[in-house]
Structures are given as C-alpha cells and as structure tokens.
Structure 1
Amino acid sequence: MGLTVLLAFLRGGALEKQVAGVVGAAWIASALVPLGGRIGPAWLLVAIDVGLLLYLLYQAAFAKRFWPVVAAGFQLLIVATHATFALRIQLEQWGYFTAYYLWSWGVLACIAVGALSAKSSARDA
C-alpha cells in the first residue's frame, strides 16, 4: 500500500494522486476498525469499502482513463466478498480474508498501472 501510494504521488497525475489518497485513507480507517469475528463481518469495514466503491464508480464514470473502471471492478469484488461472508457466516475466515486481500491487491495494481502510464499519456497528448 505504501509503495503504491508513493508511486502514485511521485509518478502519477492528479487522478492517480487523488485516488491513491482516498484508497490510503480508507486503508488506514479499515486498519482501525475492530474485526467482527465469528459473529459476522465488521459492518464498519463493509461501510468503508462500500463508500470506496461508490468513489471508484464515480471516478470510473467520469475519468478519461480505463484503469479506474478496473479498480472499481476489483472494489466491487471486495464488497461482494463481504456480502458472501455476511450471507454464509459459516465460511472460514481465512477464505474471506484471502479473497479480500487478493481483490485489494488488484485495486493497488490498477493505481500503480495508472501512475506508471500517467506520465507517458501526458507526453503523448
């Protein structure tokens, strides 16, 4: 997370910096939320991720770049993972967290790709 945010701020454009800042803030907020345990998902964590999904959907709708669309798709998978765990609480938590982290890496990869391609897109324009 730290490396991706740093990359976005060093190499990215305004969009990459803004998205990296929002994703970084959501990550910090998520780290401060107590986990729900076996009784269910941490609903505050779900709310943070739904808010981040709405933000990424907004960026995907209005940005002139493709990577926010893919990032929003990965964030949708994160929210779907929460929904699946909420509906099937008997699922093992290692599967829940594994899926959650894999999709999170996808969001970070999108930001990194956006940051690495931002300078070349600006030069090409």
Structure 2
Amino acid sequence: MQIHAVISLILAILVCGLAMWRGDRSARWIGAAFLADWLGSLLVYRPHVQSADYGVLMIDIVTLAAFVWISMRTRRLWTIVASAFMAIIVASHVAVMIDLRVTINTLKASMAIWSYGVLACIAFGTWAGWRRQGHAPS
C-alpha cells in the first residue's frame, strides 16, 4: 500500500469514526457506509494494469445506493453532495470500462480526489449535526 493510500485510510477512519461517535443519524449512517466502502474495497481489490476492478465497482455502487437512500430519508443537502461525489466515483469506474483511452491511473486519481470530497461532506455533516444538537456556543 502506498503512503498516500495509508494517509487517506487514516483520514477516513478519523472522519468516519468521529461521524459515528458525534454526528447525527445521517452523519452516522453515511460515515459507516463510507468506512465500510473503504475497508471492503481493500478486501476485494485486485490490481490490474489495464482494467477496472469489478469488485470495487460493485462495492461503490452499493455505497452510492446507500448514500442516495439516506439522502432521500434525511433530506440534508450535504448528503446529496456526498451522493454526487460518490456518483462521480462510480462514473469514473464506468469510464475506464467503456473507453480504453482512460487509464487506470486516471481512475485512481479520480477516486482519491472525490473521496476527499465525500470526507469533507461527512465532516461538515458531523459538525452541522453536532451543532443542531445544541452544542454550539451561544
């Protein structure tokens, strides 16, 4: 595992852990789903030089479906934005599969960039939920 992947995993554990500990219901669910996505992707990842990993794609599709479901139930704007970032990750997988000019390195870069977007949404949602619960300074 490369150093940037380790840093990203540590950041995901911290942000999602904080969301599950201090966030409201939507932050807890989205945080748990994204952390499960991260850990599940580590378990099924099979490095291949030319094609996308179908196992990781399936996990990302399930996570996207969970994000959309949570977004529809909680009606929080940040969950919609997190769902959009997750949809871009899934679209990146599909782009690698249908167009051979899109390289696997492009997919990896896209997944890294948009994953940070999801983490930013989770962090914001955790803060907003914490604030709504009455922990904001007066």
TM-score norm. by structure 1 comes to 0.90
Of residues 9, 12, 15 in structure 1, which corresponds to 2:23?
12
Q: 1:100, CA displacement in angstroms?
A: 1.0
| RMSD (Å), alpha carbons | 1.6
Asked if 1 retains the 8 angstrom alpha-carbon contact of 2:19 and 2:126, the reply is yes
Describe the SS at the equivalent of 1:38: coil
Asked if 2 retains the 8 angstrom alpha-carbon contact of 1:20 and 1:111, the reply is yes
Of residues 28, 34, 42 in structure 1, which corresponds to 2:45?
34
For the residues of structure 1 that align with 2:75 and 2:104, how far apart are their CA atoms? 38
For the residues of structure 2 that align with 1:111 and 1:9, how far apart are their CA atoms? 10
Moved more, 105-114 or 30-39: 30-39
Q: How does 1:1-125 map to 2 (within 5 A)?
A: 1-123=12-134
Q: Which runs of 5+ in 1 are unaligned?
A: none
Describe the SS at the equivalent of 2:52: coil
Q: Which runs of 5+ in 2 are unaligned?
A: 1-11
For the residues of structure 2 that align with 1:93 and 1:40, how far apart are their CA atoms? 7
Displaced runs of 4 or more, over 3 A: none
Higher relative contact order (CA 8 A, sep 6+): 1
Aligned residue pairs total 124
TM-score norm. by structure 2 comes to 0.82
Please list the CA deviations of residues 18-45 of structure 1 after superposition, one character each: whole Å capped at 9, or x if unmatched.
2211211111110111335134211111
Please list the CA deviations of residues 35-93 of structure 1 after superposition, one character each: whole Å capped at 9, or x if unmatched.
35134211111110011111111111121321110000000000000010001234332
Letter in 2 for 1:70: V
For the residues of structure 2 that align with 1:98 and 1:35, how far apart are their CA atoms? 17
Asked if 2 retains the 8 angstrom alpha-carbon contact of 1:49 and 1:79, the reply is yes
